[in-house]
């Protein structure tokens, strides 16, 4: 966790220093240009952001600068500092930042940003060897819980918690998604946690060569988890998402979320939110995750305040009061 906190501190420091020459003053921006922080240029955040760039330029005559970044933690730092105007983040990481907990405990609450929309679910996969049938069966097993200090590791800890377990009850391994999949395929671990949109490539490739199971979260446990950690939402992984997984799997997800710096004017954010939903087909044509955008999902699992501009649009649409 100290390692992650140091990374957050560095990210914030870099964001502030970048602001010295990108103009991060607190005055409201006119609706003429915006800076959008995404992720690596091979990831979903970047592809989704590139689709929004085209839509906002075409529909709003708005110049958009799409920035490649290290994703959620870095994007929080960039938006908080005003070096980016909008950014993609996981809603659990967003919540930690806003409240100054977990990954952001050293930095304290980050309050200069607010939510625009939940875009699509990032599912908490619990991938196991086929012989394992229940999360409770992970006790004593070799389990990769994601890289140390990662959002996935926190998801793993919270899910194990509702099964009355901690990392001390498993043989903890800390690997990224690809390495976890390789280790499970080689029989070096028994299961791994992976928080990502479906289908995620690491699991897809593994399922082609190994018999795997996605462990479900029972309804009662799911209700308890969501009540305790309101950034989670209930999710069902459809039959056939992965080879050999021939039944629906009850799961939970966090939301890939668009956030904005609070300095952006209400009417500007309103127009951008409206353009987002009115051009869903164009987003979907650019990336399949666009199909998962919906008004109802956009306001679910978001425990921080919405920007006034986004709130205005949702009230017009009748999904928020």
pLDDT digit string, tens, across residues 156-201: 999 999 999 999 999 999 998 899 999 999 999 999 999 988 998 8
pLDDT digit string, tens, across residues 222-281: 999 999 998 998 999 999 999 999 999 999 999 999 999 999 999 999 999 999 999 999
Per-residue buried b or exposed e for 109-124, using 16+ beta carbons within 10 Å of the residue's own CB? ebeebbbbbbbbbbbb
pLDDT at 99 over 90: yes
pLDDT digit string, tens, across residues 272-312: 999 999 999 999 998 889 999 999 999 988 999 999 999 99
- Concatenated DSSP letters of 56-84: HHHHH--EEEEEP-S-HHHHHHHHHHTS-
Per-residue buried b or exposed e for 252-285, using 16+ beta carbons within 10 Å of the residue's own CB? bbbbbbbbbbbebeeebbbbbbbbbbebeebbee
Indicate whether this model's pTM tops 0.85: no
Question: Going from the N-terminus, what domains does the chain have, and what CATH number goes with each?
Answer: 2-121+255-317 (3.40.190.10), 123-254 (3.40.190.10)
Please report which residue ranges of the chain form alpha helices under DSSP H: 2-22, 44-60, 72-81, 91-99, 151-161, 177-185, 201-209, 219-228, 266-278, 280-286, 295-298, 308-317
Q: How many CB atoms lie within 10 A of CB 98?
A: 22
pLDDT digit string, tens, across residues 21-37: 333 333 444 568 999 99
Measured CA to CA, the distance from residue 145 to residue 126 in angstroms comes to 9
Q: How many CB atoms lie within 10 A of CB 32?
A: 10
């Amino acid at each position: 966790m100290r390692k992650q906190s140091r990374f957050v501190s560095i990210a914030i420091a870099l964001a502030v220093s970048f602001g010295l020459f990108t103009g991060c003053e607190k005055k409201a921006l006119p609706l003429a240009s915006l800076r959008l922080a995404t992720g690596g240029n091979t990831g979903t955040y970047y592809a989704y952001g590139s689709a929004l760039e085209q839509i906002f330029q075409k529909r709003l005559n708005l110049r958009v600068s799409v920035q490649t970044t290290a994703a959620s933690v870095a994007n929080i730092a960039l938006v908080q500092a005003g070096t980016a105007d909008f950014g993609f983040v996981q809603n659990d990481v967003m919540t930690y930042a806003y409240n100054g907990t977990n990954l952001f405990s050293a930095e304290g609450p980050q309050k200069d940003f607010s939510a625009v929309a939940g875009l699509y679910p990032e599912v908490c996969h619990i991938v196991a060897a086929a012989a394992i049938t229940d999360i409770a069966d992970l006790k004593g097993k070799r389990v990769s819980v994601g890289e140390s200090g990662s959002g996935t590791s926190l998801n793993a800890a919270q899910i194990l918690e509702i099964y009355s377990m901690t990392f001390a009850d498993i043989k903890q391994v800390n690997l990224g998604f690809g390495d976890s999949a390789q280790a499970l395929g080689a029989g070096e671990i028994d299961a791994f946690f992976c928080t990502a949109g479906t289908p995620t490539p690491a699991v897809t490739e593994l399922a082609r060569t190994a018999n795997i199971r996605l462990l479900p979260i029972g309804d009662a446990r799911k209700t308890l988890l969501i009540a305790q950690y309101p950034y989670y939402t209930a999710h069902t992984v459809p039959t056939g998402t992965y080879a050999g997984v021939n039944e629906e799997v009850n799961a939970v997800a966090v939301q890939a979320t668009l956030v904005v710096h609070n300095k952006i004017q209400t009417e500007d954010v309103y127009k951008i939110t409206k353009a987002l939903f009115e051009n869903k087909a164009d987003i979907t044509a650019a990336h399949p995750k666009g199909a998962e955008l919906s008004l109802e999902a956009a306001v679910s699992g978001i425990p921080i305040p919405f920007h006034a501009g986004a709130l205005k649009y949702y009230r017009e649409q009748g999904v928020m009061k």
